[in-house]
Structure 1
Amino acid sequence: MPRPTAAQFSYGSATVVFSALAMLLLFRTESGIGVAAVCTAALALGLLVAMALPARTKAVRKATATSTAARTHRTIEDIEIATAQRERVGEHSLHR
């Protein structure tokens, strides 16, 4: 079983806290059973948000993997061109 990421912890925790506060203010419950039901619903919603997060991040990683490789490849070519230009400039300065 994979370990939860920091993003999962933060999104899930924030969802639990804010949804619990929103539901408590919305329903204006005063009984212990009502508060327990709201807290249980908030916890379930937080778990749902935390578990749904990896599906989005995997899709983002997959989409950026090719563009990162392409940028790295271009960067290596740019470095090789710049190195060749510096070598040519160095050769010209030696002949003077």
Structure 2
Amino acid sequence: MPRPTAAQLAYGSCTVIFSTLAMLLLSQTSSSLGIVLITLSALALGLLVAMTVPLPKPAPSAAAPLVRERVPVQFETASASVSVSVSSAPEPVREPAGP
């Protein structure tokens, strides 16, 4: 079983603390059974959050070489007689009126 990452520990701990405080404040319970149930449900929620945090992807091993997709290369030829016109403001585009 892999060890939890720092992000998993942080997210799980914050979830446990904040969800426990929120449920205790919202329920306003004073019984020990209610406090135990809230605490256990907060721990379960923290564990769920910690386990669903995306894990970092493992590095590719040397046994499995990377397969790269071959992309054809297009070459463009430059001609010596290229004329370039630079305009500072674009021309307005006129569109036909709608129906």
Q: TM-score, normalised by structure 2?
A: 0.55
Identity %: 59
Aligned residues, how many? 59
Look up the match of 1:42.
42
How is 1:1-96 mapped onto 2 (pairs within 5 angstroms)?
1-53=1-53, 56-58=54-56
Deviation at 1:57, TM superposition (A): 4.1
Shift >4 Å, 4+ stretches: none
Distance in structure 2 (CA, Å) of the matches to 1:17 and 1:58: 25
Unaligned runs of 5+ in 1: 62-96
SS at match of 1:15: helix
- The amino acid of 2:31's aligned partner reads S
Cα deviation code 1:50-81 (max 9, x no counterpart):
0000xx3457x8xxxxxxxxxxxxxxxxxxxx
Deviation at 1:32, TM superposition (A): 0.3
Distance in structure 2 (CA, Å) of the matches to 1:16 and 1:45: 7
SS at match of 1:47: helix
Deviation at 1:25, TM superposition (A): 0.3
- The amino acid of 1:17's aligned partner reads I
